[in-house]
Amino acid sequence: MCGLVLLLSDRRASRDGIGRDDSFLPGIVFEIMAPIESVVTAPFSFGHRMWMDYFALVRVREENTSLHVEIDQLQEENLQLREALVASGNLDRIVEMRSGFETPMRAAEVVGQDLSIWFRSVLLDRGQAAGIYSGMPVITTGGLVGLVTATSPHAAKVMLLQDRQSAIDGIVQRSRARGIVHGHGDDALVFELVVQGDDVLPGDVVISSGLGGVYPKGLRIGEVIEVSDPGGGLLRQARLSPAVDFGGLEQVFVLLKRSVTMDLLYGMEGDRPAGADGKSATSKQ
């Protein structure tokens, strides 16, 4: 009965957008488990880093040489694009716009993974005390990671993009074709509801569109690996390789600015304690 009541109330909370920031018992579980997981996971992570940084560096010299060549090519291309922008008089305007989009971020360590095969989430070592609240997007240098779904004073839970509940509006960077990126619970993502005539090709990069207001625009989601045509109807779908290595997540950045949509869902700005608006953030995007 207790389980059923919890399940129904949590489902209702999820639908009504009440959020999970103020739950007492789960908060206690977070507070106890996060430090323990942090301590226990540390030696394993250290061993993994040692292996990856020292023993698994076979062929790194050749890779380094080819990367240098690639960097030279990209720098050349970058220079040409800058020249083109300056020539069109747009560079100053773009720089000015970009400064307006700067969002405060908070770095956090991943201390625990969701081992259930049915859900995809991670546990962070920072929570409300660091200004992290439900509804805030989480990113890495690679791209978009997911969304904070529950917090306690010193821990937070993040639903990854791969979770089956996750859905995000995305666009193909090259052709601006629009669709929804869904998690399917496994390693790949699915780019759904793409209109049949839209231009989507393997190798295309999909970024967040900003529509829906949950995630900021322009964050990298993944790369198209194959396009399929299920049923031959009006819509197509594509499989994406995520931009982020979700299995190897160690450090992430939480964007401390929650969207208006999320404020409406999880509670308004005024409901959050002072200092939670990101003014105390240490890093900038």
Alpha helices in 89-156 (DSSP H): 91-101
150 vs 219, beta carbon nearer another protein: 150
Can you tell me the distance from the alpha carbon of 211 to that of 209, in angstroms, rounded to the nearest whole number?
5
Tokens representing 34 are 């996060």
Binding to another protein in span 137-156, by CB under 8 A:
149
Q: Are 211 and 169 in contact (CB under 8 A)?
A: yes
With CB under 8 A as the contact rule, the residue among 106, 126, 154, 157 that binds another protein is 157
120 vs 220, beta carbon nearer another protein: 120
51 vs 101, beta carbon nearer another protein: 51
With CB under 8 A as the contact rule, the residue among 85, 109, 142, 164 that binds another protein is 164
50 binds another protein (CB under 8 A): no
Tokens representing 217 are 């625009």
Alpha helices in 152-277 (DSSP H): 260-266
Query: Considering the complex, what minimum distance in angstroms separates the CB of residue 212 from another protein?
Result: 17
Can you tell me the distance from the alpha carbon of 247 to that of 170, in angstroms, rounded to the nearest whole number?
22
| Candidate ranges 9-17, 54-62, 74-82, 172-180; the one touching another protein (CB under 8 A) | 9-17
| Candidate ranges 34-42, 131-139, 196-204, 229-237; the one touching another protein (CB under 8 A) | 34-42
Q: How many CB atoms lie within 10 A of CB 211?
A: 14
4 binds another protein (CB under 8 A): yes
According to DSSP, residue 53 is labeled I
| Candidate ranges 119-127, 200-208, 212-220, 262-270; the one touching another protein (CB under 8 A) | 119-127
Query: Considering the complex, what minimum distance in angstroms separates the CB of residue 187 from another protein?
Result: 9
Can you tell me the distance from the alpha carbon of 160 to that of 124, in angstroms, rounded to the nearest whole number?
12
With CB under 8 A as the contact rule, the residue among 18, 188, 193, 235 that binds another protein is 188
225 binds another protein (CB under 8 A): no
User: Binding residues for another protein, how many (CB under 8 A)?
Assistant: 48
Dihedral of CA atoms 200, 241, 117, 114 in degrees, nearest 10, equals: -120
Can you tell me the distance from the alpha carbon of 244 to that of 205, in angstroms, rounded to the nearest whole number?
13
Comparing CA positions, the residue from 91, 121, 125 lying closest to residue 111 is: 125
With CB under 8 A as the contact rule, the residue among 24, 118, 197, 232 that binds another protein is 118
Can you tell me the distance from the alpha carbon of 264 to that of 134, in angstroms, rounded to the nearest whole number?
12
**At 245, which amino acid appears?**
D
Residues lying near another protein in the complex (CB under 8 A) are found at: 2-11, 14, 23, 25-26, 29-30, 33, 36-37, 40-41, 43-45, 47-48, 112-121, 123, 149, 157, 159, 163-165, 184-186, 188, 247
